[in-house]
Amino acid sequence: MTDWKAVAVGFVVIVVVGTGGLALPLIGQIGAGLLGGFAAGYLAGGTLGNGAWNGLVAGSISGIVVTLLAALLGSLLGLAGGPLGGLLGGVGVLVAGVVLTLIFAIDSAIAGAVGAWVKG
């Protein structure tokens, strides 16, 4: 069962650390997913599966939110090149965002399982 409080805390940790981690593009994002997933798993507690699930949900939600915001920004910036530029800019960012969401989800799930194990 999903512990929404743990997921919300994990989401906030991922967004805050991920924003600060922009200075280290890939390492900062992976670290954000690990820290947020760990926080969600630790707060949710229970079995390894429960921690992994809550970490996965926190990572997925944060990845989706970041993807949608980035795609919107890419579309708006792409409009300078006309409607086709806006479409291509938004779709390109959306595809990259899907990869980012997978990265957030996978490492958050692993860290969530570790967090539940540490608490257990």
Tokens standing for residue 5:
């409080």
State what percent of residues in the chain have pLDDT above 70: 95
Query: Closest by alpha carbon to 108, among 44, 46, 47, 35?
Result: 35
Rounded to whole angstroms, what are the CA distances from 67 to 62, 70, 91, 96, 97? 8, 5, 11, 8, 5
DSSP structure class, residue 80? G
- Tens of pLDDT, residues 39-95: 999 999 889 999 999 999 999 999 888 888 877 777 777 777 677 766 777 777 778
Which pLDDT does position 12 carry in this prediction? 94
Contact by Cβ (8 Å): 90, 75: yes
Secondary structure of residue 46 in the 3-state scheme: coil
Confidence class of residue 97 from pLDDT cuts 50, 70 and 90? confident
